[in-house]
Structure 1
Amino acid sequence: MRTPPLPLAEAQARLLALAAAVPVEHRAVGECIGHYLAAPLHARRTQPAAPLSAMDGYALRSADLPGPCDVIGESAAGHPFAGTIGKGQASRISTGAVVPQGADMVLLQEDATREGDAVRLTGEAPAPLQRHIRPAGMDFAEHSVLIAAGSRIGPAQIALAIAGGYSHLPVHRPISLTVIDSGDELVLPGQLPDLHQLPASNGPMLCAMAAALPTRITHRGPVADSLADLAATLDAARDADVIVTSGGASVGDHDLVRPALEAIGATIDFWRVGIKPGKPLLIARRNTQIIIGLPGNPASAYVTAFLFLMPLLRAMLGAAQPLPRTIPARLAGPMGKGGSRMEFLRAQWDGATVALDPLQDSGALSPLSRANALIVRDAGADARPTGAHVPVYLLENGGIA
Structure 2
Amino acid sequence: MSGWLDLDEAQRQLLSLAPVMGSEDAAIEAALGRVLTADIYARRTQPPADLSAMDGYAICGEGPWKVIGESRCGAPFVGTLKTGTSVRISTGAHMPVGAESVLLQENAVRGEDSVSSTETPPIGRHIRRRGFDFSDGDPLINAGAAIGPAHIALALSGGHTKVPVRRLPKVTVIDSGDELASDPENCGPDQIPASNGAMIAAMAAPLVGKAKRIGPVGDNMAALASALVHADDCDILITSGGASVGDHDLVQDALREWGADIAFWKVAMKPGKPLMVATRQSGDRRQLVLGLPGNPVSSFVTAFLFALPAIRQCLGFANPLPLAQTRIAGQTFPAVGQRREFVRGISDGTSVITANSQDSSALASLASANCLIDRAPGAPETAKAEPVTVYSLQNGGFAGA
TM-score, normalised via structure 1 length: 0.92
Aligned to 2:288: 290
Within the candidate set 358, 365, 368, 2:366 is matched to 368
How far apart, CA to CA, are the structure 2 residues paired with 1:398 and 1:135? 41
Q: Which amino acid aligns with 2:279?
A: R
State the SS of the aligned residue for 1:323. strand
After TM superposition, the structure 1 = structure 2 runs for residues 101-180 of structure 1, keeping only pairs within 5 Å, are 101-122=97-118, 130=124, 132-180=126-174
How far apart, CA to CA, are the structure 1 residues paired with 2:354 and 2:274? 24
Within the candidate set 54, 66, 81, 1:85 is matched to 81
State the SS of the aligned residue for 1:96. coil
Aligned to 2:178: 184
* 1:192 shift after superposition: 4.1
State the SS of the aligned residue for 1:212. helix
* 1:114 shift after superposition: 0.8
Range that drifts further, 354-363 or 244-253? 354-363
Q: Which amino acid aligns with 1:102?
A: G
Question: How many residues are matched?
Answer: 395
For structure 2, the 5+ residue unaligned runs are none
Per-residue CA deviations over 1:82-113 (Å, capped at 9, x if unaligned) read 33333222221101112223333222111111
The question of whether the paired residues in 2 share the 8 Å contact of 1:343 and 1:377 is answered with yes
* 1:283 shift after superposition: 0.6
RMSD of Structure 2 on Structure 1 (CA):
2.1
Within the candidate set 239, 252, 257, 2:251 is matched to 257
Per-residue CA deviations over 1:238-291 (Å, capped at 9, x if unaligned) read 121111000111222111111111122210111111221111111111101111
State the SS of the aligned residue for 1:306. helix
State the SS of the aligned residue for 1:27. strand
The question of whether the paired residues in 2 share the 8 Å contact of 1:150 and 1:321 is answered with no
| Structure 1 segments of 4+ aligned residues over 4 angstroms from their partners | 128-131
Aligned to 1:346: 344
How far apart, CA to CA, are the structure 1 residues paired with 2:140 and 2:322? 24
The question of whether the paired residues in 2 share the 8 Å contact of 1:44 and 1:164 is answered with yes
**Residue 332 to residue 180, structure 1, CA distance change in 2 (3 Å):** same
How far apart, CA to CA, are the structure 1 residues paired with 2:134 and 2:273? 48
State the SS of the aligned residue for 2:88. strand
State the SS of the aligned residue for 2:305. helix
Aligned to 1:272: 266
State the SS of the aligned residue for 1:392. strand
Structure 1 residue 96 corresponds to structure 2 residue 69: no
The question of whether the paired residues in 2 share the 8 Å contact of 1:35 and 1:214 is answered with no
How far apart, CA to CA, are the structure 1 residues paired with 2:232 and 2:288? 10
Range that drifts further, 199-208 or 37-46? 37-46
State the SS of the aligned residue for 2:346. strand
How far apart, CA to CA, are the structure 2 residues paired with 1:129 and 1:365? 66
How far apart, CA to CA, are the structure 2 residues paired with 1:360 and 1:317? 33
* 1:332 shift after superposition: 2.8
How far apart, CA to CA, are the structure 2 residues paired with 1:10 and 1:231? 31
Q: Percent identity?
A: 50
The question of whether the paired residues in 1 share the 8 Å contact of 2:184 and 2:194 is answered with no
For structure 1, the 5+ residue unaligned runs are none
The question of whether the paired residues in 1 share the 8 Å contact of 2:296 and 2:360 is answered with yes
Q: Which amino acid aligns with 1:348?
A: I
How far apart, CA to CA, are the structure 1 residues paired with 2:120 and 2:182? 72
* 1:131 shift after superposition: 5.4
Q: Which amino acid aligns with 2:9?
A: E
Aligned to 2:300: 302
TM-score, normalised via structure 2 length: 0.92
Aligned to 1:398: 396
Q: Which amino acid aligns with 1:75?
A: S
* 1:216 shift after superposition: 4.8
* 1:180 shift after superposition: 0.4
* 1:130 shift after superposition: 4.8
* 1:31 shift after superposition: 2.3
Aligned to 1:15: 14
How far apart, CA to CA, are the structure 1 residues paired with 2:389 and 2:124? 46
The question of whether the paired residues in 2 share the 8 Å contact of 1:246 and 1:296 is answered with yes
Aligned to 1:58: 57
Aligned to 2:42: 43
How far apart, CA to CA, are the structure 1 residues paired with 2:116 and 2:336? 73
Q: Which amino acid aligns with 1:72?
A: I
**Residue 248 to residue 125, structure 1, CA distance change in 2 (3 Å):** farther
